[in-house]
């Protein structure tokens, strides 16, 4: 039986992603049930036809196939209407920014006029605005659990390389039961679980190899094959 999140608090890392049904630019969705077995990036933006949001959607859409290759789907949300969403996404196709042009947004953009989904995810923060969602990012795993939460203020566009990197890092950690060090990128060495006994700690320090090395008993790395 799935756990439930109190309506009075924001969901936290490790919580089940709050469920909702919504109308989107790609039809109705049942979230997160429709995405079972996939990673999902659920992200909110303050408003349609705003400059920072426009650059973000152009970037997300240009990276959609990269995310799809990582078994990751994109789902956007704002408190604007479906018709506003449609008009804005059509306008985005006419714009050119940096190396991005003729950008078609094919991932769903949620209509959330009543702020039901936004409130479930703590996307409406009165210190920023009572009528707009902040720039929130929720990474949800194939089992429907929240694995990462990022919040940006209204004035600051997101770092999309970092969003992609954390998906890669989470998938690596899950697949190999490891942790990833600061600034980790695919192919970099990974951290193996900390020794759980004095004997294991001593053995690791005395028996280092080409595949594994330790800086000290509590921080050991495994070399990744290039």
Mark whether 198 is an active-site residue.
no
Q: What is the largest CA-CA distance in the chain?
A: 66
Q: Is 146 exposed, middle or buried (0-12, 13-18, 19+ CB in 10 A)?
A: buried
In this structure, the dihedral spanned by the alpha carbons of residues 35, 47, 160 and 169, taken in order and rounded to 10 degrees, is -40
Catalytic residue among 53, 198, 214, 220: 53
What per-residue string of b and e applies to 111-133 under the rule 16 or more CB within 10 Å gives b?
Answer: bbeebebbbbbbbbbeebeeebb
Separation of alpha carbons 78 and 33, rounded Å: 20
Annotated binding-site residue? 114: no
Cα distance between residue 91 and residue 83, in whole Å? 12
Residue 34 DSSP code: G
Indicate the annotated binding residues for substrate: 135
Q: Which residues are catalytic?
A: 53
């Amino acid at each position: 039986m799935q756990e439930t999140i109190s309506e009075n608090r924001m969901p936290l890392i490790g919580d089940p992603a709050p469920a909702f049904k919504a109308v989107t630019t790609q039809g109705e969705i049942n979230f997160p049930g429709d995405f079972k077995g996939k990673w999902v990036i659920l992200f909110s933006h303050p408003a349609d036809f705003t400059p920072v949001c426009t650059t973000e959607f152009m970037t997300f859409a240009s990276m959609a196939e990269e995310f799809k290759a990582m078994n990751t789907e994109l789902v956007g949300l704002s408190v604007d209407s479906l018709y506003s969403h449609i008009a804005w996404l059509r306008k985005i196709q006419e714009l050119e920014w940096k190396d991005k042009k003729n950008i078609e947004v094919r991932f769903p953009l949620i209509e959330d006029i009543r702020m039901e989904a936004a409130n479930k995810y703590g996307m409406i923060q009165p210190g920023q605005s009572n009528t707009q969602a902040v720039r929130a990012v929720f990474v949800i795993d194939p089992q429907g659990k929240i694995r990462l939460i990022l919040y940006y203020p209204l004035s600051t566009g997101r770092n999309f390389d970092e969003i992609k990197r954390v998906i890669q890092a989470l998938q690596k950690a899950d697949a190999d039961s490891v942790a990833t060090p600061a600034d980790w990128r695919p192919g970099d060495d990974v951290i193996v679980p900390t020794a759980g006994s004095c004997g294991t700690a001593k053995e690791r320090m005395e028996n280092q190899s080409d595949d594994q090395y330790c800086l000290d008993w509590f921080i050991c790395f495994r070399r990744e094959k290039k």
